[in-house]
């Protein structure tokens, strides 16, 4: 009886381990997360593939989880930098482009209606560096500017820093209130009078209570719309990636194949991002 019970428990444990090993763990960007979560639901239903998606820690966590071997895919909403490659020099990253998007500087609809509709890159830099602290200095109302900065390691912040300073490493460290996920950033810019933050354009467009600002580049006003994002004319246009670091098994290939299919790209589009063709580097 004892031997039968022991064997039953052992077989059950082996089965559980096999199930855990068979699942795909994906970690990283909150921007990419909704696409992958929906794809995971479809693949679970259609192909019985178990996919675990975790957006804690953003793009930085996506890369670190690959380097540590705790995930099979990372999700990132930025380019892999030379700094990333140096930090994880023992890991070979392969990027899989699944969509495109842009980062916008966003304000509440109330502030937008009061005249804050666009900024130049130099004005954005001066606000970030606290050289400009009141909206009246850039054509808005007499109200203090509250800059809600993305947490370190977020892909959204790196896209912003690169657009403003040319290189991420050139951006100075400035003390601001910090926000993490897209949802947190959006909620706080709505609830905080005078607030400005960096946010995915797709997330801004889904909520009428926030407005994305145009950016003036060399005197030309560029709106964060599909035309300018797709043409990469908007300064904070970006690609959305899944990233792998090892040869893919059949389930992992099935996930990518689905994301590149018409049904997968429809999901990308449903969440407000732009469709892409298959591209792996």
pLDDT at residue 280, rounded to an integer: 66
Shared fold status for 2-100+240-280 and 102-230: yes
pLDDT at residue 152, rounded to an integer: 78
Closest of 60, 61, 79, 1 to residue 25, by C-alpha: 61
Spell out the SS3 assignment of 63-112: HHHHHHCCCCEEEECCCCCHHHHHHCCCCCCEEEEEEEEEEEEEEEHHHH
| Vertex 277: Cα angle to 155 and 225 (nearest 5) | 55
Q: What is the pLDDT of residues 138-167, one digit of tens each?
A: 999 999 999 999 987 789 999 999 999 999
Query: Looking at the domain that runs over 102-230, which CATH code has it been given?
Result: 3.40.190.10
Q: What is the DSSP string of 148-166?
A: EEEPTT-HHHHHHHHHHHS
Partner residues linked to 234 by β-bridges: none
Closest of 228, 244, 240 to residue 268, by C-alpha: 240
The residue ranges of every structural domain in the chain are 2-100+240-280, 102-230
CA distance 129 to 123: 10
Question: How far are the Cα atoms of 150, 177, 193, 199, 255 from residue 109, in angstroms, in the given order?
Answer: 20, 21, 11, 14, 38
Q: What is the pLDDT of residues 43-62, one digit of tens each?
A: 999 999 999 999 988 999 99
Beta-strand ranges (E) seen in 131-201 are 146-150, 177-179, 195-200
Query: Looking at the domain that runs over 2-100+240-280, which CATH code has it been given?
Result: 3.40.190.10
In three-state secondary structure terms, 26 is strand
Over the chain (281 residues), the average pLDDT of each successive run of 10 is: 38 38 85 96 95 93 96 96 94 97 97 97 97 97 97 89 93 94 94 97 94 95 95 95 97 96 97 86 68
């Amino acid at each position: 009886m004892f031997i039968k019970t022991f064997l039953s428990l052992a077989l059950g444990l082996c089965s559980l381990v096999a199930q855990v090993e068979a699942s795909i763990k994906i970690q990283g960007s909150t921007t990419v997360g909704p696409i992958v979560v929906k794809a995971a639901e479809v693949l679970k239903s259609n192909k019985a593939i178990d996919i675990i998606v975790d957006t804690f820690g953003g793009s930085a966590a996506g890369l670190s989880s690959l380097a540590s071997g705790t995930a099979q895919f990372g999700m990132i909403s930025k380019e892999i930098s030379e700094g990333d490659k140096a930090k994880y020099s023992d890991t070979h990253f392969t990027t899989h482009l699944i969509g495109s998007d842009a980062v916008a500087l966003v304000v509440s609809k109330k502030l937008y209606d009061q005249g804050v509709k666009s900024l130049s890159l130099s004005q954005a830099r001066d606000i970030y560096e606290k050289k400009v602290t009141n909206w009246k200095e850039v054509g808005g109302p007499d109200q203090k500017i509250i800059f809600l900065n993305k947490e370190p390691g977020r892909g959204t912040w790196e896209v912003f820093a690169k657009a403003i300073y040319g290189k991420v490493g050139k951006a100075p460290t400035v003390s601001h209130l910090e926000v993490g996920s897209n949802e947190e950033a959006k909620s706080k810019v709505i609830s905080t009078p005078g607030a400005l933050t960096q946010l995915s354009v797709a997330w801004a467009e889904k909520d009428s209570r926030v407005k994305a600002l145009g950016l003036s580049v060399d005197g030309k006003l560029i709106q964060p719309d599909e035309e300018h994002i797709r043409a990469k004319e908007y300064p904070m246009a970006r690609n959305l990636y899944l990233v792998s670091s090892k040869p893919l098994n059949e389930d992992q290939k099935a996930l990518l194949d689905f994301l590149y299919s018409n049904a997968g790209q429809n999901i990308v589009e449903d969440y407000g991002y732009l469709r892409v063709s298959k591209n792996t580097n």
